[in-house]
Amino acid sequence: MDASKRDQAAGVRCVVLGASGFIGAHLTADLLSAGHRVRVLSRSGEHRFPPGVEVVPGDATDTEALRAVVRDADVVFHLIHSLSERDFAERDRLIAAGLCAAAAEAGVGQIVYLSGPRPIGRTSPHLASRSEVADILLSGEVPAAILQASLIVGEGSTGIEVLARIARLPVVPCPAWMRHRSRPVALADVRHYLRAVVDAVPVRGRLDLSGPEPVTYRELVRRCARVLRRPVPVMPPAVLWSHSLAARATELFTPVSKGVAAPLFASLEHDLLPVDTAAETILPHPPGGSPTLDNALREALSSPVRPPSEGPAHYGKHTLRTPVSADRVWQSIVGLGGHRQPFAPATAWALRGLLDQLIGGAGLYRGRPEHLRPGDVVDFWTVRSRDDQRRELVLTADMQLPGTVELTLRAEPAQDGTAFEQTVRFTPAGTLGTAYWYLQKPLHDLVFAQLARSIVDTAEHSRAGQSV
């Protein structure tokens, strides 16, 4: 069915193979919400699909079952990966060949396959099988869009489940393959691009789904620990740490079986970076842009930024007047952090970051995204809220402390320019927290006074421009 006919239809007739899986369940719900008709193939009557889903009983390796499920379909989503089966490569090869034949016979307009990155050179059996399935589908009569993602960051992802459990351990062996890189992509982006194919003209080819930054698996463990607000594990080099040992350890500490974990670990022997056409050059960008890696991890690990705990709080406040506009001061506020405009005084913050790292915290964690949104990381702070109308930015500290710290920065228009207000709110955790507040208060007042002065100075010496 071509795009013009789809636009006139009440809903696109979609088939989801693998609808009970991690991605399939989300996609099925998304397609129904968009008003499309959804049919699924189910090997067991035990799984309950949402109301409105047409269920065809059968197995994807059965030719007749495939013919029945793709009958009259416009788009078929192939999300089946038989990794838990010993003969997963042969099984997936059989399914791909059967789907090509059944889809061509039924006049399907588009096949969409969710795959891994296309391997270059030697690779693991898992990735080789994914790539082989993609080649089979691409050689078929029906246009096939191969969406390739290395690691999908979302709640329910096997890879994220493993990483989160590893990040909670005090010591994690670090073999050489943990230094390889990938471009993890948020579940929200994957769902967006899968839905986008439905409304596109038929697409044939490999499209890479990539997150905003390349990162090593070692760094991913550190980032998970930080998001979970746990001490970063000690990660000594481990020359003899094999995929088999890693899989056995995973089975001990996570719900993931060693049969599934072993081929996943074997896939990490090489960088898993995009090598084909970027999806966003063919399909529309996600509304609002892609989430940062930290935001995607936070969403996946169900660890939203928490407000300070209830209890008696202590405050430190600095107010400065400046003749420049409130918009200029606001630009300076939201530009704070990273190498471009580090927290001042830089030496004091660097020493505090080093101390935090030594006691198992996130450390200074220098860096920030280009445009700040709630949940983003700014050095060792996290954005709790951003209000552009009120020109107010609220940060919470990620450092190890006997309490919680909230930093509020605000630019208030005044008759002669702008009143910059900076408020630090410390909520102590018991007696130790209260003692900490009073012991460090003299130094605290000096450091935050200089921070306030630096924000205003930056506004006074910068040119007006767009807010970050």
Query: Has residue 306 been placed in a domain?
Result: no
- Helices of type H across 168-215: 187-199
Cβ atoms of 293 and 212 within 8 Å: the answer is: yes
- Cα 460–Cα 466–Cα 468 angle in degrees, nearest 5: 90
Give the end of a domain, one of 300, 326, 346: 300
456/409 Cα distance (integer angstroms): 11
Q: What is the CATH number of the domain that holds 367?
A: 3.30.530.20
Domain boundary, last residue among 300, 323, 343: 300
294 & 326 share domain: no
Q: Cα separation of 111 and 358, whole Å?
A: 52
Task: Tell me what pLDDT residue 190 has.
Answer: 96
Note whether 320 and 293 are same-domain residues.
no
Q: What is the DSSP string of 211-248?
A: -SS-EEHHHHHHHHHHHTT-PPPB--B-TT--HHHHHH
Q: Which residue in this structure is represented by tokens 């400046």?
A: 322
Shared-domain flag, residues 402 and 283: no
Residues 345, 450, single domain; the answer is: yes
Burial 139-172 (b: 16+ CB within 10 A, else e): ebebbbbbbbbbbbbbeebbbbbbbbbbbebeeb
**What does the alpha-carbon distance between residue 190 and residue 212 come to, in Å, rounded to a whole number?**
13
Q: Is the pLDDT of residue 433 over 90?
A: no
Token readout for 181 is 């890189």
Q: Is residue 274 part of a domain?
A: yes
The answer on 369 and 229 residing in a single domain is: no
Residue 36 lies in a domain: yes
pLDDT at 460: 92
Record the tokens describing residue 3, joined without a space: 């795009």
Which residue type is seen at 316? G
Q: 401 lies in a domain?
A: yes
pLDDT in tens, 353-385: 888 777 766 677 667 888 888 888 888 888 989
Same-domain check for residues 366 and 428: yes
Cα dihedral 377, 382, 384, 387 sign: negative
**Of 53-67, 170-184, 349-363, 366-380, the least confident:** 349-363
Are 273 and 161 part of one and the same domain? yes
- Give the per-residue pLDDT at 304: 43
Query: What is the b/e burial string over 205-225, where b = at least 16 CB atoms within 10 angstroms of the residue's CB?
Result: ebbbbbbbebbebbebbbbbb
Q: Who's near 107: CB < 8 A, 6+ residues apart?
A: none
Number of structural domains (the chain) is 2
Give the SS3 label for residue 420.
Answer: strand
Domain boundary among 300, 329, 344: 300
- Tell me, yes or no, whether 413 and 333 share the same domain: yes
In a domain, 308, yes or no: no
> Residue 84 is encoded by which pair of tokens?
């838990």
What's the pLDDT tens digit per position in 276-335? 999 999 999 998 889 889 889 988 887 444 443 444 678 888 989 999 999 999 999 999
Domain span at residue 436 reads 314-461
- Is there a domain that residue 309 lies in? no
The closest alpha carbon to 457, from 319, 326, 324, 339, belongs to 324
On the question of pLDDT at 402 being above 80, the answer is yes
User: 71-102: per-residue pLDDT in tens?
Assistant: 999 999 999 988 767 788 899 999 999 999 99
d(CA 175, CA 316): 46
**Mean pLDDT value of segment 250-273:** 71
Specify whether the CB–CB gap between 61 and 98 falls below 8 A.
Answer: yes
Q: Please report the pLDDT score of residue 305 as a whole number.
A: 40
Domain assignment of residue 433, yes or no = yes
Residues 52, 187 within the same domain: yes
Q: Rounded CA gap, 353 and 440, in Å?
A: 16
Residues 396 and 436 grouped into a single domain = yes
40 and 161 housed in the same domain = yes
CA-CA-CA-CA torsion for 218, 224, 230, 234, nearest 10 degrees? -10
Give CA–CA dist 37/15, Å, rounded: 8
Who's near 134: CB < 8 A, 6+ residues apart? 113, 115, 118, 144, 146, 148, 206
3-state secondary structure of 45: coil
CATH number at residue 243: 3.40.50.720
- 359 and 210 within one domain: no
In a domain, 336, yes or no: yes
Q: From CA 391, how far away is CA 414, in angstroms rounded?
A: 13
pLDDT, the chain, mean: 85
Q: How far is CA 334 from CA 69, 297, 338, 382, 458, in A?
A: 52, 22, 11, 13, 12
Residue 69 has pLDDT above 60, yes or no: yes
Taking the CB of residue 431, how many other CB atoms lie within 10 A of it?
Answer: 9
